[in-house]
Chain A
């Protein structure tokens, strides 16, 4: 356990020592802020919708819905260097020859990445929170949206970690994980096609469908479990992949 935390601590530190993390945070925050203000202005100028929808629904829902697309674009950039860069520089030998198991290495790196995800979540929470002094917020609803975002990013991160373990070129890892995530995202298209067998299954497997209900403020254990299983699958594949490398 202490090995995992030690690796995670230094991974998080190294993430924040690179300018990439700060650039990503700054750009994400700038774009989200732009969307947030836009939504706010729209809400103020459109008083009729206020009867059925509160400000939390209107702003929280739309803001976090848009955030998913942005995070789909940036998460591959954050995961790309986790293993590929270390393999390229040879630093991975340090972890491989130390008395730690592959599972500990993978979980440590993943946990470090989740630290970065947590920072994004805090920034995402800050925007609706700024309305706290001027209106009544439905915090449960916003928390559900944030939890959904966190679970979604966990899944993105695990898949990105796996793709990063496949190659020694960070850019290829970024393109690869973006492709993989988009594919799993869009798999629900098959669900709309009546000619496809097991269309309900494909619709169910899509990454984004499980986020919809959380975004609307409905917490369903099945959705949370879906993301946890999705992440575990890719973490397990990463361990297998690293083990293969020695053979």
Chain B
């Protein structure tokens, strides 16, 4: 059974004067999903997120959040959202506790529950011991965490994070990723980034945006285990290329060096078993056998490099 749809965007378009930032974008986020928005700089990721959170009105199209149309009843729709923009929206002169308590009130957390909400958000974001410190005195990484804490303090069904790991050190990036994966268990998350491994590490589905259009939208599994069209084989005692080519499903054999070959496969064929069996039987000394999968990076480069987008448009 398909789970409940939390965000549904239809035909979102945004123009800045003659420039089209986002064109006819459709997006669906279901409960329990972590959706990664991927795209080169200036592709329209932030504009899309601003439109989803009601910070920017779309030139055309509509956004529905938990069944409420955003431009018809913005207050009710925004209740289901937590948003961390590119720059964490913090007040440097407040302490972390004061700031989070203000955010809780702003998002409609009732007064008696505010202290508990602040404590829970601090615990989830690893802010336990910085509560009494001024936000302005915290490091960039901690400010980013305060920003995330602000987005989840009212436990919204949908959390939207715009490049949450920008400007962090590798350890902080790992912590934030773990935090996002943790969030994904109870909340639906939309995450934007231009860092591929980040999307691969935490997201369940990936959406690639290039020049304001969605050019790819599939689950991360498809990019990971996806179709392959070639196999790299390493053989210590290689036979004639013709012998390799005779194996079922092999269309072409190219020698990479003395012992390694690139074997192109026929569509939908998987000759790996046959190669391994033949190698064992005829003592070729098999030491490497790897499918050349279509990685996210290849998909990304292919789809976002100039020509493809133009021909697709």
Same complex origin of A and B: yes
Whether A18 and B93, one on each chain, are in contact in the complex, defined by CB atoms closer than 8 angstroms, is: yes
Binds B, one of A97-105, A181-189, A205-213: A97-105
For B79, list chain A residues within 8 Å (CB): 99
A92 interface residue (CB < 8 Å to B): yes
A240 interface residue (CB < 8 Å to B): no
Most A CB contacts (10 A, CB to CB) among B85, B88, B91, B106 go to: B106
Minimum CB distance partner of B53 in chain A: A97
Q: Mark A98-142, 1 if CB is under 8 A from B, else 0.
A: 111100000000000000000000000000000000000000000
A207 to chain B minimum Cβ distance, whole angstroms, is 32
Whether A98 contacts B106 in the complex (CB less than 8 A), given A14-B94, A90-B87, A93-B89, comes out as yes
Whether A94 contacts B103 in the complex (CB less than 8 A), given A246-B56, A247-B57, comes out as yes
**Residues 66-123 of B at the A interface (beta carbon under 8 Å):** 74-76, 78-79, 81, 83, 85-94, 98, 102-103, 105-108
- Give which listed residue, A17, A95, A97, contacts B81 with CB less than 8 A: A97
B193 interface residue (CB < 8 Å to A): no
B296 to chain A minimum Cβ distance, whole angstroms, is 29
B54 interface residue (CB < 8 Å to A): yes
B188 interface residue (CB < 8 Å to A): no
- Give which listed residue, B74, B85, B91, contacts A93 with CB less than 8 A: B85
B62 to chain A minimum Cβ distance, whole angstroms, is 15
For A10, list chain B residues within 8 Å (CB): 91, 94, 98, 102
B146 to chain A minimum Cβ distance, whole angstroms, is 11
Minimum CB distance partner of B108 in chain A: A99
Whether A3 contacts B106 in the complex (CB less than 8 A), given A17-B93, A96-B54, A97-B54, comes out as yes
**Residues 62-109 of A at the B interface (beta carbon under 8 Å):** 89-101
For B75, list chain A residues within 8 Å (CB): 99-101
- Give which listed residue, A13, A17, A94, contacts B150 with CB less than 8 A: A94
A83 to chain B minimum Cβ distance, whole angstroms, is 14
On chain B, which size bracket covers the interface?
20 to 34
B19 interface residue (CB < 8 Å to A): no
**Residues 1-56 of A at the B interface (beta carbon under 8 Å):** 2-3, 6-7, 10, 13-14, 17-18
On chain A, which size bracket covers the interface?
20 to 34
Whether A246 contacts B78 in the complex (CB less than 8 A), given A14-B94, A18-B93, A98-B106, comes out as no
Main DSSP-derived SS at the A contact region: helix
Whether A91 and B94, one on each chain, are in contact in the complex, defined by CB atoms closer than 8 angstroms, is: no
The distance in angstroms between the C-alpha atoms of A91 and B94, with both chains bound, is 12
Whether B78 and A98, one on each chain, are in contact in the complex, defined by CB atoms closer than 8 angstroms, is: yes
B311 interface residue (CB < 8 Å to A): no
**Residues 12-71 of B at the A interface (beta carbon under 8 Å):** 53-57
Whether A246 and B87, one on each chain, are in contact in the complex, defined by CB atoms closer than 8 angstroms, is: no
Whether B93 and A99, one on each chain, are in contact in the complex, defined by CB atoms closer than 8 angstroms, is: no
Minimum CB distance partner of B147 in chain A: A94
Whether B90 and A246, one on each chain, are in contact in the complex, defined by CB atoms closer than 8 angstroms, is: no
For A18, list chain B residues within 8 Å (CB): 93
Whether A97 contacts B55 in the complex (CB less than 8 A), given A6-B106, A7-B106, comes out as yes
For B88, list chain A residues within 8 Å (CB): 90
B138 to chain A minimum Cβ distance, whole angstroms, is 15
Minimum CB distance partner of B80 in chain A: A99
The distance in angstroms between the C-alpha atoms of A185 and B239, with both chains bound, is 97
Minimum CB distance partner of B156 in chain A: A99
A residues neighboring B (CB under 8 Å): 2-3, 6-7, 10, 13-14, 17-18, 89-101, 246-247
Of all A-B residue pairs in the complex, the 10 with the closest CB atoms, nearest first, are A90-B87, A94-B89, A99-B78, A6-B105, A97-B83, A98-B106, A91-B89, A17-B93, A93-B89, A99-B79
B residues neighboring A (CB under 8 Å): 53-57, 74-76, 78-79, 81, 83, 85-94, 98, 102-103, 105-108, 150
- 17 A-B residue pairs with Cβ-Cβ distance under 8 Å, sorted by A, are A6-B102, A6-B106, A13-B94, A13-B98, A14-B93, A14-B94, A18-B93, A89-B87, A90-B89, A94-B103, A96-B55, A97-B81, A98-B106, A99-B74, A99-B78, A100-B106, A246-B55
Task: List 17 extra interface pairs beyond A94-B89, A246-B54, A247-B57, CB under 8 A.
Answer: A6-B102, A6-B106, A7-B106, A10-B94, A18-B93, A89-B87, A91-B89, A91-B91, A92-B89, A93-B89, A97-B53, A97-B55, A99-B74, A99-B107, A99-B108, A100-B75, A246-B56
